[in-house]
Structure 1
């Protein structure tokens, strides 16, 4: 699986399918998180988004572009509501190691 395929599959299953267990396939156990709102590690990611999917059952991310350079990839995406309107623009940056997402940074731009 290419890095782009890894990312697309992860977003489809985890974020859009609301399947937190999918992180076990795609995310390293010792996942390094640079977003201060989410604790370190794969289990913390699963816990944070498990809660988010309960409080926001229509949560969805539409990937618009993936840029890859070696073991790094940047994903430009939009958080959209059920009508398809953009709620937030996001850039996620990942370091990929041994076929899994190993490290994450993000930039968020809410839409008013």
Structure 2
């Protein structure tokens, strides 16, 4: 086989291998999907156990009002869901960078209220959620501009 034929064959095999995986989601897309599923299970389906199944062996919580770990998560959501059984969270945007996924969310604890604008940050390790931060801001009656918070 001539050198040119060998180079063309090698390039063709490399191109074919690259295209064979082109339709597979990247790890960032997988991470986004895992976090969205986790969030919907916890906040909208009110199924803490299904959400916990998506966590890694440890879960570090940075919200000052929620106890650390899986048990803290379980306790918080049991109380939250009892107090706000009709709460609903609408994910407005999903951003990802490596092992971090950020959600921009409209949380309405009680129907008919304005709710809160929420930014949730999650860190994943090997496809499992292992860390969480959040910032919440009540949506005021009057906003100082004509933009929305979303």
Task: Give the drift of 1:59.
Answer: 1.3
1:30 aligns with 2:22: no
* 1:10 paired residue number: 38
Partner of residue 79 from structure 2, selected from 30, 42, 51: 51
- Tell me which residue corresponds to 1:82: 111
Structure number with greater Rg is 2
Matches of 2:53 and 2:88, distance apart in 1? 20
* Native 8 Å contact 2:35 2:122 kept in 1: no
The answer to whether the 8 A contact 1:91-1:107 is kept is yes
- TM-aligned CA deviation for residue 99 of structure 1: 1.2
Return the structure number with greater strand share.
1
**Structure 2: runs of 5+ lacking an equivalent:** 1-28, 141-150
Task: Note if 1:94 corresponds to 2:122.
Answer: yes
CA offset digits 1:78-111 (Å, max 9, x no partner): 112435x530000001111121111111111012
Moved over 2 A (4+): 80-83
Q: TM-score, normalised by structure 2?
A: 0.69
CA distance in 1, matches of 2:84, 2:57: 25
Counterpart for residue 103 of structure 1:
131
Higher RCO structure, 1 or 2 (CA under 8 Å, sep 6+) = 1
Aligned residues: 111
Secondary structure of 1:36's counterpart equals: coil
Between Structure 1 and Structure 2, the one with more helix by share is 2
List alignment gaps of at least 5 residues for structure 1. Answer: none
RMSD of Structure 2 on Structure 1 (CA): 1.5
